Amino acid sequence: MKRIAAILLMTFGLAAFFVARAVLSINGAGASFPEPIYSKWFDEYHKKDPNVQINYQAIGSGGGIKQVTEGTVDFGASDGPMNDDQLKAFQDKHGFPVLHFPTVLGAAVPTYNIPGVTGELNFTPEALAGIFLAKITKWNDPAITAANQGVTLPANDIVVVHRSDGSGTTYIWTDYLSKVSDEWKTKIGKNTSVNWPTGELGGNKNEGVAGLVKQTPNSIGYVELIYAIQNKMPYGKVKNSSGQFIKADLASVTAAAAGAAKSMPDDFRVSITDAPGKTAYPISSFTWLLIPSKFSDASKRDAIKGFVKWMLADGQNHTEALAYSKLPKEVVAKELTALDKVQ
């Protein structure tokens, strides 16, 4: 009997020891596009402040919005800003608003496979919208050839490839096409998945689209810039709002955000596709953290605010190694002010 008591005592002692040492655990869920940089950040931040452990589940932007609204996670993350209905749903449920904080930038690029064409193609907004609306059906259509003097394009049918899974990349792509084409806006619109014109092929994730484009002659599709860079895929330039053909890279995507910074609304819910600026790449977007503006647990609130502060300063230095574009300075300054709203 004494021995059992001793064992019990020891167990309780050990348990108490671990509980006392337990770190503050914060849970987030949402977009899968920024997951590599988020994992890196949460890992680095844990090294800096061993008392805070941030766990992140890349369940998708839609899931992130749902979970943060339900209150099952401490923060959410999304590639597209929450719409007014979703904001209202959060406000109605909790009695206080949820705030958007941009973290990094991403972009979508057109990638293609045309036998005999090796150079970089130039795409005008009209050409991209026409191709994806299935209005432009041949590679030697004047809308494409006019921007590509000196390249011989074949008279073959264009095969269009899109993402079949709901994704932030599709959101950016269709958001851009909605801005540059009224027909796109009224017939198809922007979303994480849309009702594509018939006859187009769907590939699952970036790998699926890239694989289909690689395998199908005369095809065109779109993938995340990061995926294209890491896999050394060829991709085309896109004409921006200043009339320049811009190749997407880390700098031209940051330039798009800087161009939009002047007109940035206070809640950061802004689309930066077709942004102004001579060097801006037009199919770019922020990705956001969704943070409730009130926390009942003060230690959680401080930990999250601490993390966001660090992410906006030191954290931004980790982005380019993982091929994400940095936030422009103007946006960082604005976010630091907005952070005070979290109480």
Partner 1 sequence: MATTSTTVPSAGPLAGSRSFFDRLRDGDEIARLITLLFAASVVLITLLIVYELWQGSVLPRHKFGFAFFRTSVWDPNFEQFGALPFIFGTLVTSAVALFIAVPLGIGAAIFLAELAPARLSDALEFFIDLLAAVPSVIYGLLGIFIVVPVMRDVIQPALKNSLGFIPLFKGPAFGIGFLTAGVVLAIMVIPYIISVSREILLSVPRDQREAALALGSTRWESTWKVVVPFARTGIMGSIFLALARALGETMAVTMVIGNTPAIAASLFSPGDSIASVIANQFTEATGELYTQSLIELGLVLFLLTFILNGLARLLIVVTSQRGGAARA
Q: Which residues bind partner 1 (CB under 8 A)?
A: 59-63, 65-66, 86, 157, 159, 164-168, 188-196, 198-204, 208, 211-212, 215-216
What ranges make up the beta strands (E) of 31-74? 52-57
Token pair belonging to 153: 């394009």
Q: How far is the CB of 7 from partner 1 (least distance, A)?
A: 33
* Strand-pair category, 237-239 with 284-292: unpaired
**C-alpha angle with apex 297: 292 to 301, nearest 5 degrees?**
50
Query: Could you give the CA distance from residue 304 to residue 277 in angstroms, rounded to a whole number?
Result: 33
Least separation in angstroms between CB 62 and partner 1: 4
Nearer to partner 1, 83 or 230 (CB): 83
212 or 289: CB nearest partner 1: 212
Which residue is listed with tokens 């995507």? 253
119 sits in which H/E element: none
Q: Which residues contact 270 (CB under 8 A, 6 or more apart)?
A: 81, 260, 263, 264, 286
Q: How many CB atoms lie within 10 A of CB 182?
A: 10
Structure tokens at 97: 């608003």
Nearest distance in Å: CB 31, partner 1 = 9
Q: CB 74 → partner 1: shortest distance, Å?
A: 20
Residue 24 or residue 134: which is nearer to partner 1 going by CB? 134
Distances (CA, A) of 317 to 24, 40, 320, 324: 25, 11, 7, 10
Question: Which residues on adjacent β-strands are paired with residue 163?
Answer: 203
DSSP character string of 149-193: TT----SPBPEEEEE-S--HHHHHHHHHHHHH-HHHHHHT--SSS
Instruction: At 213, list the tokens.
Output: 């484009």
Tokens of 3: 């021995």
Output the smallest distance, CB 165 to partner 1, in A.
4
Question: Least distance (Å) from partner 1 to the CB of residue 200?
Answer: 6
Could you tell me the smallest distance in angstroms from the CB atom of residue 290 to partner 1? 13
- The CA distances from residue 73 to 5, 19, 64, 119, in Å, are 39, 21, 9, 47
Terminal alpha carbon distance of the chain: 52
Q: How far is the CB of 196 from partner 1 (least distance, A)?
A: 7
Count, in order, helices (H) and strands (E) of the chain. 13, 11
For partner 1, give the closer residue by CB, 124 or 174. Answer: 174
CB of 219 to partner 1, least distance (A): 9
Closest to partner 1 by CB, 206 or 316: 206
Collapse the DSSP code of 235 into the 3-class scheme (helix H, G, I; strand E, B; otherwise coil) and give the result.
coil
Cβ closest to partner 1, residue 148 vs residue 192: 192
- Give the residue with the Cβ less far from partner 1, 163 or 334: 163
Which lies closer to partner 1 via its Cβ, residue 65 or residue 304? 65
Asked if 269 and 82 touch (Cβ cutoff 8 Å), the reply is yes
Q: Which is nearer to partner 1, 66 or 334 (CB)?
A: 66
